[in-house]
A and B are shown apart, each in its own frame.
Chain A
């Protein structure tokens, strides 16, 4: 069965602090994909990144970076020098690519960045 766990329900930081959002996944499949989405107060889910199971290279995009470790089944997301505009709910998701596909989301982490 697929499962995504985001243990952190809510995180509060002050602007310019670095913050890491944790994501742990479970799957028996060898081919799968991991995603992060941002849901700002406006409500629309915004795709941030995709990572496939064969590519463990970490990725950096501006202030965002992602650390994928198959050994610990984790796909953590770090925001460096956080800004107020980063305040949102962040969801981690897992997709298995074997036959029919089900995109499963974690319960989300609410990030509050105060000035």
Chain B
């Protein structure tokens, strides 16, 4: 597609349920990032993929959070046993990461607004 696509755009779930958030990056982009943005706050780094590998998982808040990427394309962020503090907008971004800095800029999707009730 033309841009980064995230689904669903909104998700309301009950506390304790599992949720899956999907990200379709821009075709050909090798790098993929997940961030979390709580209301009125900055961007909290969650995880970074290079191809299908996740060399940096340091931002995942707990073992309830996991992510995978298949075929160097689509990524899924899974939150198990959701808690109210998980409520936030989850943003996905992708970049080309070409040589000499070209393509290092990340392009963001519109995010998934997760509400845990």
Interface set of A (CB-CB < 8 Å, partner B): 33, 35, 37, 43-45, 47, 50, 52, 91, 95, 97, 99-108
Q: Given contacts A33-B101, A100-B48, A108-B42, are A47 and B106 in contact (CB under 8 A)?
A: yes
Q: Given contacts A91-B42, A105-B43, A106-B42, are A97 and B101 in contact (CB under 8 A)?
A: yes
Binds A, one of B15-23, B60-68, B69-77, B107-115: B107-115
Report whether B56 and A100 are in contact in the complex, using a CB–CB cutoff of 8 Å.
Answer: yes
Report whether B43 and A100 are in contact in the complex, using a CB–CB cutoff of 8 Å.
Answer: no
Q: Given contacts A52-B101, A100-B55, A101-B97, are A44 and B108 in contact (CB under 8 A)?
A: yes
Min Cβ gap A110→B in Å is 9
For chain B, the bracket of interface size reads 20 to 34
The CA-CA distance from A101 to B101 in the complex, in Å, is 12
Is B91's beta carbon under 8 Å from chain A?
A: yes
The CA-CA distance from A95 to B111 in the complex, in Å, is 21
| Interface core residue of B58, B93, B105, B110 (most chain A CB under 10 Å) | B105
Is B31's beta carbon under 8 Å from chain A?
A: yes
Choice from A37, A91, A100, A107 contacting B50 with Cβ under 8 Å = A100
The CA-CA distance from A101 to B109 in the complex, in Å, is 19
Min Cβ gap B48→A in Å is 6
For B88-112 the 0/1 string (1 means CB < 8 A from A) is 0101010001001100111111110
Q: Which chain B residues numbered 30 to 66 have a C-beta less than 8 Å away from chain A?
A: 31, 33, 35, 41-43, 45, 48, 50, 55-56, 58
Report whether B110 and A47 are in contact in the complex, using a CB–CB cutoff of 8 Å.
Answer: no
List B contacts of A103 (CB < 8 A). 33, 45, 48, 93, 106
List A contacts of B109 (CB < 8 A). 44
The CA-CA distance from A91 to B109 in the complex, in Å, is 16
Report whether B104 and A102 are in contact in the complex, using a CB–CB cutoff of 8 Å.
Answer: no
Q: A50-B101, A97-B101 are in contact. List 20 more A-B contacts (CB 8 A).
A: A33-B104, A35-B105, A43-B89, A43-B111, A45-B91, A47-B105, A47-B106, A47-B107, A50-B104, A50-B105, A52-B101, A101-B31, A101-B56, A102-B45, A102-B48, A102-B56, A102-B58, A103-B93, A107-B41, A108-B42
